[in-house]
Structure 1
Amino acid sequence: MAWQSWNEFFAMGGYGVYVWGSFWICAAGLCLEWVLIKQHRKNVLKQLRRMALAESQDG
């Protein structure tokens, strides 16, 4: 498709609300997933450190 202006591009032939809404919802979901994975990784590493410390104190 060829658009004559940026306004036409963002309007997407009248479907811009659906196209851009879907885009932003998907982007937000990906960002949320990244944050949750980062948080989970931090918690797992903290738990592993605690376990390693407990093992070293037992032995």
Structure 2
Amino acid sequence: MAFASLGAFFAMGGHGPYVWAAWGVTALLMAACVIHARLERRQLARLLMRRARRGSTSQPHQASHADDP
């Protein structure tokens, strides 16, 4: 192992606070991306279900194209 002890590993030669803060921020942002994607997926599924229910009870309005040749 490159470090003499677990304490030396966490200290990282004096750069520990920067290194572990960077790891923490990265992990936090990745978790936030996953949570955000799941929430958006649920919201989209609800929207599509609402549209499907609405569309099954009424026919969409068809525009007449009397001017078409």
Give the TM interval when normalised to the shorter protein: over 0.9
Amino acid at match of 2:18: Y
Q: TM-score, normalised by structure 2?
A: 0.81
The count of aligned residue pairs is 59
SS at match of 1:33: helix
Identify unmatched segments of 5+ residues in structure 2. 60-69
Aligned to 1:7: 7
CA shift digits 1:20-52 (9 cap, x unpaired): 000000000011111111100000000000000
SS at match of 1:3: coil
Identify unmatched segments of 5+ residues in structure 1. none
Cα offset, 1:54, TM superposition: 0.7
Point out 4+ residue stretches in structure 1 off by more than 2 angstroms: none
Query: What is the RMSD of the two structures over their aligned residues, measured on CA atoms?
Result: 1.1
Which of 1 and 2 has higher RCO (CA within 8 Å, sep 6+)?
Answer: 1
Q: Which has the higher helix share?
A: 1
Identity, % of aligned pairs? Answer: 32
